[in-house]
């Protein structure tokens, strides 16, 4: 059996979760792990001098637990309860490849994950569109006034700049303003090409 791991990462509200869930339905033996499931409780998240909870930082997450879950899945993907049945159109030779999609907003600058990926995608959005989408979502705890401009967007820019400055980081950047259908079609085709390389 071979394992293929792909990591969609994005700015907040960039569309990574939707993309991951749609891909899961289309790909054989596919499972999804979400970084959002590893947030620490609010009482354990640091607060800065402005009173902003620092959720857009690795310290706000149980990253060790996330890495352990990914590693366990890779060791024995067939035992995962969430591995889906293969689509009717899947070929017999696809049965021995298992696909793990890890989706989140802070994945690529965390060194313990660096050796676990086959493909990395990063969904980007311009400031105005990102802020508009963020304003339509309900969060627990709710965003405080000025939180997007004071914490969320600056952290995204910092993170993205670190990625772009790392020459060894192979990331496929995706335009999050494109339609979900267009993004899904592109990523699906790209993954299928990578799977064909694995089979060769």
Say what the pLDDT of residue 95 is: 52
**Residue 169: how many other CB atoms lie within 10 Å:** 14
Active-site residue identified among 31, 36, 92, 143: 36
* pLDDT tens per residue across span 110-146: 888 877 788 889 888 899 999 998 888 877 777 888 8
Instruction: For residues 109 and 178, give the distance between their C-alpha atoms in angstroms, rounded to a whole number.
Output: 25
Instruction: For residues 14 and 18, give the distance between their C-alpha atoms in angstroms, rounded to a whole number.
Output: 9
Report yes or no on whether pTM surpasses 0.85: no
Q: How many CA atoms lie within 13 A of 4 on its CB side?
A: 22
Coil, strand or helix at 137: coil
Domain residue extents for the chain: 3-79+95-199
* pLDDT tens per residue across span 71-122: 999 888 877 654 445 444 444 444 578 999 999 888 887 888 877 788 889 8
CATH of domain 3-79+95-199: 3.40.50.300
- β-strand partners of 100: 5, 31
> Is 36 a known active-site residue?
yes
Helix, strand and coil content of the chain, in percent to the nearest 5, comes to 45, 20, 35
């Amino acid at each position: 059996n071979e394992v293929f791991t792909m990591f969609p990462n994005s700015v907040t509200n960039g569309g990574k979760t939707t993309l991951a869930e749609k891909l899961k339905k289309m790909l054989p033996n596919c499972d999804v792990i979400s970084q959002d499931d590893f947030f620490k409780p609010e009482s354990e998240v640091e607060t800065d001098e402005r009173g902003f909870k620092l959720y857009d930082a690795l310290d706000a997450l149980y990253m060790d637990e996330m890495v352990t879950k990914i590693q366990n899945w890779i060791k024995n993907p067939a035992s995962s309860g969430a591995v889906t049945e293969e689509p009717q159109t899947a070929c017999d030779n696809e049965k021995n490849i298992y696909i793990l999609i890890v989706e989140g907003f802070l994945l690529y600058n965390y060194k313990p994950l660096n050796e676990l990926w086959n493909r990395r995608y990063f969904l980007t959005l311009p400031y105005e569109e990102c802020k508009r989408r963020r304003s339509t979502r309900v969060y627990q705890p709710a965003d405080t006034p000025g939180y997007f401009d004071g914490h969320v967007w600056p952290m995204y820019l910092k993170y993205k700049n670190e990625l772009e400055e790392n020459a060894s980081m192979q990331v496929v950047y995706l335009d999050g303003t494109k339609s979900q259908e267009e993004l899904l079609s592109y990523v699906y085709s790209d993954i299928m090409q990578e799977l064909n390389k694995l089979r060769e």
